[in-house]
Chains A and B, each alone.
Chain A
């Protein structure tokens, strides 16, 4: 991490190197799915797709938790709202098949609305009271999704909605294999490129936001709300904006998730998912866009690596599978969370300017 930071400083001195660096990064991003499907199989490209979606989610949550310092334990609700918005507007459920450029803004808008809906009554709450209310909000959304199959069937209940339309451009379904320039691109590959593009846009937005007037207002509120207010920041609007923007990102990620997966069910939006996304943000380095990105990629890829290696390694070491591989995988995952936080309490790659916040220093 440190080396990358150092390299960036060095590169920043010389524009030629900067462009070279970007070109190399771009080439790596373009070639990565081919490298993966050529060596470890196409499933890993799919995992990468999901990692990119989670990265988007984590960046959205980072706005709320990392920038504005509002602990949100129900963030997955916005992801759910986005996913269900997409699923309802583009599936046989109501026989609606809107094109993606129409649904994506609708999903984002609805999610933002829910963000304000959650934010408005909770503006006065602090710290952990806010956490439990957001948690409750997330559960309320999930329970409604789970039970809205009667008296009027909206969400199809626990079964979820099937046959969700994928993104299609000009009638071409992006989850199928297409030939382009003589190369076969399978669905997961094409999705990878789409997701990379959207993620890059997300990253740019986040970085620009952080350095904007609004971003500085968020940080001011995080560090000391009272002082921020005294400086003339309209804390109410700025906090609501953090909720709404964070929710928007979640909604977009949710829509993409629904279209990639092809079906949605309430099971994908349980509390543990909210907690996972929060772990990505905190473990990566709260408030630091690249740190959060790293956290998201690590925490999606690591469990998958553990999943595929839990049984073979046991077989190689002890000759048989003694421990349930699924349990072992989660066991190691939990252990990794604890160890990383113990060794690096501010996260793997914290923002360089981020000092221990005043709240942590004052002894309650």
Chain B
């Protein structure tokens, strides 16, 4: 088995999930200039709700086809997350839109703590195993193993990202979103309902997040109330790496971070002569981030913003 090819495949799988979550961060940041710290928890809620829906369907309608089950669960989870994101924006961010910059950051942290503990109260502290609904085949390409599930994760992410790029670049909603992120004031003068656009942005991000949550839970076969924290952190890192506020940057940053992590984890031992082990996987990711930002202070694809006048 080719280790390098294997790490690349693992990295791509990990990276496409990061990219999906990173899109949620970057869209909100692009429009509001706000780090939506609660996004990781929304992803977690997405995974948990889908899991709960599947287990409920399995007991209520065991003869239902697994594919339909997943579809129903996904729809329930996406809707839940969208409603959740809408309410979060409405209750915790909108009232603070003109407040000092760090105030919404603190409410975001508050929401994040709140959601994590609500999830813990509802679903308990234990890791939840994801029931195996399908038998996944394993294929071999370039001497590395790839399962159907991994193909699905990469495929679904790629389709969703393309869809999002199409929506943002070629629809009326997308144009309104881009205008709002340029300047809320002027966009408002052009007859765009800013509040609606911002809500829509949050909801689209949450929808993508819900799907990302389901994919992650499927990939690792477990879900847990604290799974959103690290995932959110990595995704945010990916968004910054690519240049926050830039959709293409988020995708690139996500894939890059996934690749760096898995290849780094695989080779860090050899590179340092066995001095550093794979525990240092996260160090590797953050060091790359810092180095990239030192040379490109606004990320890989970030715009070079002029100094404020």
Residues of A within 8 A of B (CB): 65, 71, 121-122, 124-129, 131-133, 135-137, 139-140, 143-144, 146-147, 150-151, 224, 226, 271, 275, 278-279, 282-283, 286, 323-324, 327-328, 330-331, 333-338, 341-342, 345-346, 356-357, 359-364
Contacts and interface: CB of A to CB of B under 8 A. Distances in A.
Contacts of A146: 279
Nearest to A227: B308
B113 A128 contact: no
A17 B206 CA distance: 58
21 contacts: A129-B298, A132-B240, A133-B293, A136-B289, A136-B290, A139-B286, A143-B283, A147-B276, A282-B102, A282-B106, A330-B117, A331-B113, A334-B113, A334-B114, A335-B110, A338-B92, A341-B104, A341-B106, A342-B95, A363-B183, A363-B185
Nearest to A336: B110
Contact of A357 (B100, B106, B114, B125): B100
Contacts of B233: 135, 271
B282 A360 contact: no
Chain B interface size, as a band, is 35 or more
Nearest to B230: A271
A272 B299 CA distance: 25
A147 B289 CA distance: 21
B66 interface: no
Nearest to B100: A360
Given A65-B102, A128-B240, 19 more contacts: A121-B290, A122-B290, A129-B299, A136-B289, A137-B290, A143-B279, A143-B280, A147-B279, A327-B121, A331-B114, A331-B118, A331-B121, A334-B117, A335-B114, A337-B107, A337-B113, A342-B107, A359-B101, A360-B99
Contacts of A286: 100, 102
Contact of B121 (A71, A121, A133, A323): A323
B117 A341 contact: no
A271 B244 CA distance: 21
Contact of B106 (A131, A337, A362): A337
Contact of B294 (A121, A224, A335, A342): A121
Nearest to B180: A364
B109 interface: yes
B237 interface: yes
Contacts of A131: 35
A133 B289 contact: yes
B146 interface: no
Interface of B: 29, 32-33, 35, 91-92, 95-96, 98-107, 109-114, 116-118, 120-121, 125, 181, 183-185, 233, 236-237, 240, 244, 274-277, 279-280, 282-283, 285-287, 289-290, 293-294, 297-299, 307-308
A275 B290 CA distance: 20
Q: Is the interface of A mostly helix, strand, loop or mixed?
A: helix
Contact of B99 (A129, A278, A283, A345): A345
B294 A330 contact: no
B114 A71 contact: no
B117 A129 contact: no
A124 to B, nearest CB: 5
B158 to A, nearest CB: 26
B235 to A, nearest CB: 11
A137 B117 contact: no
A143 to B, nearest CB: 5
A357 B98 CA distance: 11
A275 B297 contact: no
Contacts of A362: 308
B307 to A, nearest CB: 5
B286 A338 contact: no
A301 B124 CA distance: 27
Contacts of A150: 277
Contacts of B111: 334, 338
Contacts of B289: 132-133, 136
Nearest to B119: A327
Contacts of B114: 331, 334-335, 338
A282 B37 CA distance: 16
B286 A360 contact: no
Contacts of B35: 128, 131
A66 to B, nearest CB: 10
Contacts of A357: 100-101
Nearest to B95: A342
Contact of A364 (B105, B183, B283, B307): B183
A239 B184 CA distance: 32
A198 B38 CA distance: 37
A236 B72 CA distance: 56
Nearest to A322: B121
B293 A125 contact: yes
Nearest to B188: A363
Contacts of A140: 282-283, 286-287
Contacts of B118: 331
B185 A71 contact: no
B283 A334 contact: no
A125 B291 CA distance: 12
B96 A342 contact: yes
Given A128-B244, A129-B297, A139-B282, A330 B103 contact: no
A346 B110 contact: no
